[in-house]
Each structure stands twice: as C-alpha cells, then as structure tokens.
Structure 1
Amino acid sequence: MTRALGRLVREIRRCRLCVEAPLGKPLPHEPRPVLRVSTTARLAIVGQAPGTRVHASGIPYSDPSGRRLRDWMGVSEDEFYDEARIAIIPMGFCFPGLDAAGGDLPPRRECAPHWRPRLFALLPQVELVLLVGLYAQRWHLGSDARRSMHETVRDFRSLMERPGLPRVIPLPHPSWRNNSWLNKNPWFEAVLLPELRRKVGGLIRDQSKNKPFTPVDHSSRTN
C-alpha cells in the first residue's frame, strides 16, 4: 500500500462524519468503517453498506449474502478475502442502522461524496468493478444507469463494454430479499454468471503467481 493510500485508509477508519456532521439524523451507534483496499487489487466490489453482522465482525460480507456473492463470482473464501487481488469498497463504510421494518437503511449520504473520489483516485490499477445493488450502480454509472436495478443488470453487456477502464458489471444484491427476482429472471444465472466468473477468474488467475485458478463447484449451491 502506498503511503498516500495508507494515510487515506487511516483517515477513513477514524471517520465520524455521520455522527459529528450528519446530513439528517446522526448515526445511532458508534461508527465502524469497513473496507479492504490495496495498490495491487485489480478487481473491486462495490456494495451498499455493512449490515449488522459485518458491523459486529468488521469483516465485509461475513454473512449469507457474502456466501452467495462468492458463489456468483466463482471464488473461494481465501481468494475473496485476499485484498492484494480484491478490493471491497461499499458505498457507505458504516452500518447505517435499521428501518422500522427491520431492513437496513440506505448508505449514509455523507460518506460517498466525501471519500469516494479521493479513494478511487488512488486505485488506478482497478480494471473491473462489480456494482452490487442500486446505490452502487447509480453512483458509478451516473447517466448510464438505467431506470431500475432490473434494467441496469439486464443491460450488463452494453455497460460492461463501455470504452475505458475500469470495466463494470452490475449485479443485484445477493440478499435473500432478492430471491423472488432471481427466481423470475433465470437468465441471470444462465447468461450473466458465466460471464462474471470468466472475467473474475481471469483477473484472479493473472495475479495468482502462476497458480491455476480453480473455480468453485456450483453443483451444491443453495439459495
């Protein structure tokens, strides 16, 4: 990690914007920013914000959603958590709290505009960004984002083939709350996931110091 990136990550881990200078109600608990970055990771996962389990553990995707995402990507747990190869950069670094129905609130509004431009400026080596969920897609795609998550994910090929780097692949959130969407859209598993695994596998293989990439066995997958 370069000195500049190291300094910025230390700043982020000390961040208290959502408590001391909130846009709206302050965060109702102590901040615990969660992210994983390096100067060598060529793949970045951009999700929404940590949930309750991740807030407790400090480990991103340490929940059933993480298991499903690793399955989608075709990577092992060790590969997923190798920050030399995979960066994990949520839209909001801290757990935002729960709404009245018990679901996670949206990412805090203070976080992205304050930190993301500076952080991504120090990650020029990233070649592929997985945009997990609507908030990530709207921020990173800007005017190229479609009207809904469904339309954005459905149009993944044209978005992935946009000129320039990093490339992007939009994904739904791997939460159980999206089981109905997944069941109604079998093309996601049949068409998008093979392309996702091919792209991710290529980046992992290139950085594995000549060790062959071994895809995960998907035959026993459970949703």
Structure 2
Amino acid sequence: MRSHDPHLPEAIAACRLCAGDFAATATAHVPRPVVWFRPGARLLVAGQAPGARVHASGRPFTDPSGDRLRDWLGLSGDAFYDRARVAIVPMAFCFPGYDEKGADLPPPARCGATWHARVMRALGPVALTVLVGGHAHRWHLGAAACKGGVTATVARWRDLGPGVFPLPHPSWRNTAWLKRNPWFAEELLPVLRRRVAEVMHDDRDDCA
C-alpha cells in the first residue's frame, strides 16, 4: 500500500546528513541529492549511488553507465526520464566521492537507512523492479538471498521474474564480466526488454 508522504522528495533534496563525510573525501564535495521518483511509477530502477557526472548534472544515469542501462532496458532517454512511469531510486542519493584508487566509494549506509524504506512506501506497488548492482540486490532481496554474490544473484533471474530483474552494474568496469557471462545478453536481456515494453505501454492502473 502506498503511503501519503507528499514532501518526501523535497526532504531528500534538502538532506545534508553526510556533509561532513563528503568534505573529508578527495573530492571535498558538498551533498547534492539526486531525486527522481514520483508515486504511481510503473518501473522502479533501484541503483547504487550517483557518480561524479550525475552529481554535476543533477539527473540520474547521465553517463556511459546510463547509456548501457538504457540499452539493456530498451528505453529511449525520453521514456527513461518520464517520472510518471519510471522511478529511479539509488541506495544513496548523493555522489559518495572517490577512494584512494579513484573508484567510487560505496553508498553511505545511513542514506539507505534514512530514506529507502520511506521511498518504497511512498511509491507503493510497481509492476517491475530492476535491481542494479549488489547493494540494491541485498536491500531488496535480502542478504541471505545474495550470498553467492552478484553473478549468482543475476543468474537466478528466472526465479525472480517477471516482477523483479537483478542486473550487474552497467559500469564500464563490468565489461569483462559481460564477456565472461554471455548468457546475460543472450538470455536475460531479451526477456527484460519485452517485460519493460509491456510495463511501459500498459495503460491499465495496475500499480494503484
């Protein structure tokens, strides 16, 4: 059941819980929560955390990872960013900064603990949930269901569909993973694209 929380997007956008942590990173950046959801969406894209380019743009997945994800989903940019149909909810709403090797830090746990359950309640039921990366897998499926890691979780996609599809992160860092696991493109993606098309073009109020 959907909860009535009309000021939730504004509250998240104003959040500064991690300001001190971010100031101490190599990027020394200030929080900029990227909020992109609206109750009534049909498709939920549950991701990890914004990267530096998304931090700059203020729009989710405005980077090569987003290009790859939209290709996986079979969605144009206009459809992907249609908040009436697509909710994009990461496990952390702000760019967490870089580690000493220049890789993105993991999403701060306090962000998910503070906001994620509230957002899920505000969204209410959705027809399709796409889980992008291990952090989203663990929150939405439970740690016990993800003990084998991302590969094992994604390989179980037939058991979770048609309402949930677990995906690896679409980062370029996972290009080698995609080559080692050709079944992902050959078997999972065609089914995912068909399901996304069904959900996006179904005018019935299935998610009310």
**Letter matched to residue 153 of structure 1:** V
The residue that corresponds to 1:62 in the other structure is 62
Q: CA deviation at 1:144?
A: 2.0
Unaligned runs of 5+ residues in structure 2 are none
When the two structures are superposed, what TM-score results if normalisation uses the length of structure 1? 0.84
The residue that corresponds to 1:168 in the other structure is 164
Q: CA deviation at 1:176?
A: 0.5
The residue that corresponds to 2:157 in the other structure is 156
* Superposition RMSD in Å: 2.2
Unaligned runs of 5+ residues in structure 1 are 162-166, 209-223
**Letter matched to residue 54 of structure 1:** V
Q: CA deviation at 1:94?
A: 0.2
Deviation per residue, 1:39-97 (Å, 9 max, x gap): 22111101110000000000100001101100000011100000100000000000000
Question: Residues 78, 207 of structure 1: CA spacing in aligned structure 2 closer, same or farther, 3 A cutoff?
Answer: farther
Cα distance in structure 1, aligned partners of 2:5 and 2:158: 32
Question: Residues 191, 118 of structure 1: CA spacing in aligned structure 2 closer, same or farther, 3 A cutoff?
Answer: same
Contact 1:85 1:207 in 2 (8 A): no
Deviation per residue, 1:135-173 (Å, 9 max, x gap): 110111103224210000011111226xxxxx2110001
**SS at 1:190 equivalent:** helix
Cα distance in structure 2, aligned partners of 1:38 and 1:137: 22
Q: CA deviation at 1:18?
A: 1.1
Greater Cα offset, 26-35 or 175-184: 26-35
Cα distance in structure 1, aligned partners of 2:86 and 2:126: 9
Cα distance in structure 1, aligned partners of 2:91 and 2:75: 22
The residue that corresponds to 1:127 in the other structure is 127
The residue that corresponds to 1:139 in the other structure is 139
Q: After TM superposition, list the pairs within 5 Å mapping 1:61-210 onto structure 2.
A: 61-142=61-142, 143-160=144-161, 167-207=163-203
Q: CA deviation at 1:198?
A: 1.0
Contact 1:39 1:125 in 2 (8 A): no
Question: Residues 3, 147 of structure 1: CA spacing in aligned structure 2 closer, same or farther, 3 A cutoff?
Answer: closer
Aligned residues: 201
Cα distance in structure 1, aligned partners of 2:104 and 2:93: 13
The residue that corresponds to 2:43 in the other structure is 43
- Percentage of identical aligned residues: 51
Q: CA deviation at 1:122?
A: 1.2
Deviation per residue, 1:3-33 (Å, 9 max, x gap): 944301110000011126x6xx689421111
Contact 2:3 2:122 in 1 (8 A): no
